[in-house]
Amino acid sequence: MVETASTTGRRYLNDAAWRYFWHPVCTLSELRTAAADGGRAFPVTLLGEALVIAEIGGEVAAFRDRCIHRSTKLSVGRVEDGGLRCAYHGWLYGADGAVREIPAMPDHPIPGDCRVRRYEAAVAYDLVWVRLDSSAGAATVVPPCPAWGDEAFRCVPGEPYTWPTSAGRRLENFVDLSHFPFVHDGSLGDRRQTVVPVAKVDRLNGELRFQFRPSPDMQLPGVALMAPTDYRIFMPFAVNLEFFFPGGERSQLWMAASPVESGVCRSFWFTCRTEDRNGDDRPHLDFQDLILSEDLPVIEAQDPPEIPAPAEEFSVLTDKVSVAYRRWLKELSDATDESPKAFARRLASVRIESGRVYEDAAPSGPR
| Contacting positions for ligand FES (CB under 6 A) | 67, 69-70, 72, 86, 88-91
Yes or no: say if 131 and 20 are a contact pair by the CB < 8 Å rule: yes
Instruction: Please report how the helices 340-347 and 320-338 are oriented relative to each other, as an axis angle in degrees rounded to 10.
Output: 160
Task: Indicate the residue among 118 and 250 with the shorter CB distance to ligand FES.
Answer: 118
Partner touching 274 among Fe ion, ligand FES, none, CB below 5 to 8 Å by kind:
none
CB of 132 to ligand FES, least distance (A): 22
- CB-based contacts of 350: which residues, under 8 Å, 6+ apart? 203, 204, 361, 364, 365, 367
Task: Indicate the residue among 242 and 295 with the shorter CB distance to Fe ion.
Answer: 295
| Number of residues near Fe ion (by CB under 5 A) | 1
Which residues make beta-bridge pairs with 84? 79, 93
Partner touching 67 among ligand FES, Fe ion, none, CB below 5 to 8 Å by kind:
ligand FES
Task: Indicate the residue among 4 and 72 with the shorter CB distance to ligand FES.
Answer: 72
d(CA 259, CA 267): 9
d(CA 354, CA 342): 26
CB of 87 to ligand FES, least distance (A): 7
CB of 205 to ligand FES, least distance (A): 43
CB of 234 to ligand FES, least distance (A): 38
- Residue of minimal CB distance from Fe ion? 295
Yes or no: say if 55 and 95 are a contact pair by the CB < 8 Å rule: no
Q: Cα dist. 185→171, 172, 265 in Å?
A: 20, 19, 26
Partner touching 91 among Fe ion, ligand FES, none, CB below 5 to 8 Å by kind:
ligand FES
Partner touching 295 among ligand FES, Fe ion, none, CB below 5 to 8 Å by kind:
Fe ion
- Residue 295 as a binder of Fe ion (CB under 5 A): the answer is yes
CB of 212 to Fe ion, least distance (A): 13
| Sheet of strand 42-46: strand arrangement | 22-27, 127-131, 118-124, 59-64, 49-56, 42-46
d(CA 88, CA 9): 39
Point out which residues bind Fe ion (CB under 5 A): 295
